[in-house]
Chains A and B, each alone.
Chain A
C-alpha cells in the first residue's frame, strides 16, 4: 500500500478548551488517508508521546517530525518544503493537508516542489485501483465536481467536516523519526517578525464546530443574544462581513467568501441578509435556520427553518426554552 502523507501542524495549536492533542480536522485527514493508503504523519513542531499515541490510534506507524526554527520563523514556504521532502522520503502517492488558508498554500507549494496536481476544497475522496478521485465543491458550493491529479502524486487540501473522524480498526505503534528539512534561500524570504496570540474565546473552533450561530448587521452592535444561544448549544460564533467590518466581533469569526467556509450540522443565521458572499461560506451546512425581520431576505431561500421576526425577541426566548427543557 502506498504512503499517504498527512501534514499535522503542532506549531499552531488551538487554545480552545478541551481541544484534543490531535485536532479534529487532523483526525479527519487521517481517516481519509487510511482509505487511500498507509497514513504517514509529517509533524511540524513537537511530536510528544501523547501525540504519538494519538497518531498510533489513528493507524499511523511512521511519523516524521521537525521542530526546526524556520518552520515558525518564516511564512508558509518552510512548512511546504518540509512536507514535500517528507513526501519524497516516504515515497508518498498522496499528500493531505487541511483547507485553511495556510493549508491550501502549503498544498500549492508542495504541488510545485513535487510537480504534482493540487486539488483544494475537497469534501471527500474515493479510491479505485489505487487511483484517488476527489470530490470538491466549487462555485460557492453550487456544484460538486470529481477531480483527480494526473501526476504521480496527488496533493489534496480537505475541508473540515468532510468525513466522520474515526480511530483505526487496528491501532499502530507510531515510531517518531526526527526529520531535517532543507530550505531553499527563497523559502526564507518572508520573515515573521511579530506574532501575537489571539485571545481564546472559550468556544469551539468555528472551522470544525458542529453548530454555528452567526450574527450580522441586524445584531446592531450587540452580540449578547447570539453568544447566549451559542453557549447553550455549545456552538461556535460566526458573523457576516458587515458585523466584522463594524468591529463588533473579531475578523476571524467572518463566514463567507473572504472568511471561513463552514459546513456544520446546524448553522443559525441571525440578522444576516444572505448575500452571495455570505452564502458562499455556509450554504453546504446540513441544517440552516434563519432569523431575520425582513421576509424578503435572500437567506430564507436556503433556510430549512426560517423565522420572520426580531432577533432580540426570538433568540432570548429560544435560549430560555432550551435551558428550561434541560431543567
Chain B
C-alpha cells in the first residue's frame, strides 16, 4: 500500500481499582464507582496501538490512535490517561441512558461509536475489563460490526506491503498455539503477554493537555436510549451476595516437620 498509515480505535474502560474493596450496590446490583483507574488490561491495547503507529511514522505520517470510552462524566479520566500515554485523540460517549448496560448493550453502543467515527482500520481492546471480567464485549463488537475477530492475541503485527493491511497475531490456547491472519478492518483484543505497556512521561502529560476529547451522546451516534442501559440489556442481576471471608486458617512456622504436618492436614481433610 502507498499509504501505510493506520486509523486505530482503542477501547478503554474506567474501572474501580481492584487494589481496594469493591462493592455491588443499588437495585441493579451495579458496581459502586469507587477509586477508579484506567483498566490495567487496556494499557496493553494502547501500547499495541502506539507500537503499530510508531512503526509506520506515528502521527506525522497520518497514523491516528483514538481512545474511546463509554461511561459517566468521571470516565473521561480513562481517555485522558490514554492521551497521556500517547493516544492522539479521545472520544467519550456519555449518556444517562447508558447506565446499567450489559455486554450486549455495551457492544451495541461501542459499535455505533466506531461506525460514527468512520474509516477505522483497527479496533483494539484489552482481553477483558478488570471489573466485569467477562471478555464478552470484543467478540460481540466484532459480530455487530461484521468484522473479523482476532481475540486474546499474545502478539500482533500489521503488514501493509500488499494491497491491504493484513494483521497477523498469535493466540495461545491450551491445546494449540495458533497463528491467525485477517485483512483489516478487524477487531483485535490483546492479552498481557502482547507487550510491556509504557507509563506516561512528563512530556506525554503536558502534550495530552492540548489533545481533544470529543464528547458524544446517544442521539449523536444514532442509538435509541431504549436499546442500551438497563432497558436495552438482555440480562438482569437479581441478587448479589458478598462471598463470606474465608475463616482464618491455621498458620504454622516450619521447625523441621512442617512437611509432615502438611500431610497430616491433607489426610484429615481426606485429600490424600
Contact = CB atoms under 8 A, between A and B. Distances in A.
Q: Do A and B bind each other?
A: yes
Interface stretch (B115-123, B166-174, B198-206): B166-174
Contact of A112 (B19, B41, B140): B140
Given A149-B234, A194-B179, A120 B134 contact: yes
Contact of A111 (B136, B175, B236): B136
A289 interface: yes
B262 A307 contact: yes
Given A289-B265, A308-B253, A145 B178 contact: no
Given A138-B133, A146-B237, A108 B175 contact: no
A189 B135 contact: no
Contacts of A108: 103, 135-137, 139-140, 143
Nearest to B265: A305
B272 interface: yes
Interface string B148-159: 111110100000
Contacts of A143: 24, 240-243
Contact of B237 (A112, A147, A265, A295): A147
A316 interface: yes
Contacts of A276: 18-19
Interface of B is mostly: mixed
B243 to A, nearest CB: 5
A266 interface: yes
A313 B254 contact: yes
B61 interface: no
A146 B266 contact: no
B184 to A, nearest CB: 10
A197 interface: yes
Interface in B33-60: 41
A15 B174 CA distance: 10
B63 interface: no
Given A117-B104, A309-B253, A322-B272, A112 B144 contact: yes
A198 B178 CA distance: 10
Given A198-B176, A265-B271, A302-B246, A310 B136 contact: no
Contacts of B179: 192-195
Interface residues of A, number: 98
A318 B262 CA distance: 7
A140 B18 contact: yes
B220 interface: no
Nearest to B242: A143
Nearest to A119: B235
Given A102-B173, A108-B139, A189-B186, A325 B263 contact: yes
Interface string A104-138: 11011101110111111100000000000100011
Nearest to B191: A258
A118 to B, nearest CB: 6
A189 B138 CA distance: 15
14 contacts: A15-B175, A76-B151, A101-B135, A102-B173, A112-B140, A145-B241, A189-B149, A190-B150, A258-B127, A288-B249, A289-B265, A304-B246, A308-B252, A322-B266
Interface of A: 12-15, 75-77, 80, 100-102, 104-105, 107-109, 111-113, 115-121, 133, 137-151, 184, 186, 189-198, 205-207, 211, 233, 241, 251-252, 257-258, 265-266, 276-277, 280, 283-284, 287-289, 291, 295, 300-310, 313-322, 325
